[in-house]
Amino acid sequence: MAGVSVVGYIPGTSILHRLDPRTKQFLVMFLGIVCFLANQWYFTIVTICILIFSPKSVWPFRLIGELKFFLLFLCVLFLVRGFGLDAHYIPYTDAERLQQAFLFCWQLLLVVLLGVMLVYTTSTKDIRAGLVWWLKPIPFINEQVLATMIGLLIRLIPLILFQALEISDGMKARNIENRRYPFYRFVRFTIQLFRRAFVTGDDLVDAMQARCYTEKRTMPLLTFAALDVLAALLGIGIALISLVGS
């Protein structure tokens, strides 16, 4: 529990901050999918772009701290894909196998970094407005409701994590770790976490009703400027050149 951290919006004036949320969402989805089709040159260019355009304050300690479990997962994946077992269960590998494993892990890391950069540089209301725009053409989905739910999800995660830490600390203070059965700790923790989360939800419903919440809400004004055109063309160009090259 002590290592729990939240990836959240960091106010700033970097190029990524100035981009329209729709551009950033497009680039995250498009470049992320192309990661699975392209080669190492594409990975290199996208990595360099992320290093240049991302907020400098997150490198490297904050980012490593927030992705430490994922980085551990990547290490396990590298071992699984990079090494095989022969008939006597003795590990073996070769240069090509290690290279393939490395590229696979790099690919996954890039996909994750793209998403993390979106959250670091985009406020919740802008993410929500972008989602409404993207979801609007999809039939049978109320884009306003869905975007509001995703907006609530983004805002609730830090709150629930904080509540989880409080519950955990409170339980430790009451010597929960000395209980004979670990199930008891598990059950008490989960019940308290849900109870507090749903009490927060009830308060939220009251607050939203008091403010006459409706699905038809005023959206922030989104502007697709020259910088967005440039960023989108750059993203598409990098992807096309890499795909043609591979």
Partner 1 sequence: MDESARKLKLMVYSAIMAALMAVGASIALPIGPVPIVLQNLFVLLAGLLLGGRWGFISVCVYLIAGAFGLPVFAGNTGGLAKFFGPTGGYLIGFAAAAFVVGTISELGKQRLVFDLAAMVVGTIIIYACGVTWLKLVLDVSITKALAMGMYPFLLGDCLKIAVAIPIVRMLRSMITLDFRTSNAIG
Q: What residues between 7 and 26 interact with partner 1 by CB under 8 A?
A: 7, 25
Collapsing DSSP to helix, strand or coil, 92 comes out as strand
d(CA 186, CA 167): 12
172 binds partner 1 (CB under 8 A): no
Residue 180, both tokens: 């004979």
Give Cα 177 to chain centroid, integer Å: 32
198 binds partner 1 (CB under 8 A): yes
50 binds partner 1 (CB under 8 A): no
219 binds partner 1 (CB under 8 A): no
Stretch that binds partner 1, among 45-53, 145-153, 218-226, 234-242 (CB under 8 A): 145-153
64 binds partner 1 (CB under 8 A): no
Residue 145 near residue 153 (C-beta atoms within 8 A): no
89 binds partner 1 (CB under 8 A): no
Q: What residues between 115 and 134 interact with partner 1 by CB under 8 A?
A: 115-116, 118-119, 127, 131, 134
Residue 122 near residue 7 (C-beta atoms within 8 A): no
Stretch that binds partner 1, among 50-58, 160-168, 218-226, 237-245 (CB under 8 A): 160-168
The DSSP code sequence of 149-193 is: HHHHHHHHHHHHHHHHHHHHHHHHHTTGGG-S-HHHHHHHHHHHH
Tokens 């923790």 map to which residue? 189
32 binds partner 1 (CB under 8 A): yes
Cis ω for the linkage preceding 60 (within 30 of 0) = yes
Residue 13 near residue 124 (C-beta atoms within 8 A): no
Q: Which residues bind partner 1 (CB under 8 A)?
A: 1, 4-7, 25, 28-29, 32-33, 35-36, 66-67, 69-70, 72-73, 77, 80-81, 108, 111-112, 114-116, 118-119, 127, 131, 134, 140-142, 145-146, 148-150, 152-154, 156-157, 160-161, 164, 182-183, 185-187, 189-191, 193-195, 197-198, 200-202, 204-205, 208-209, 213
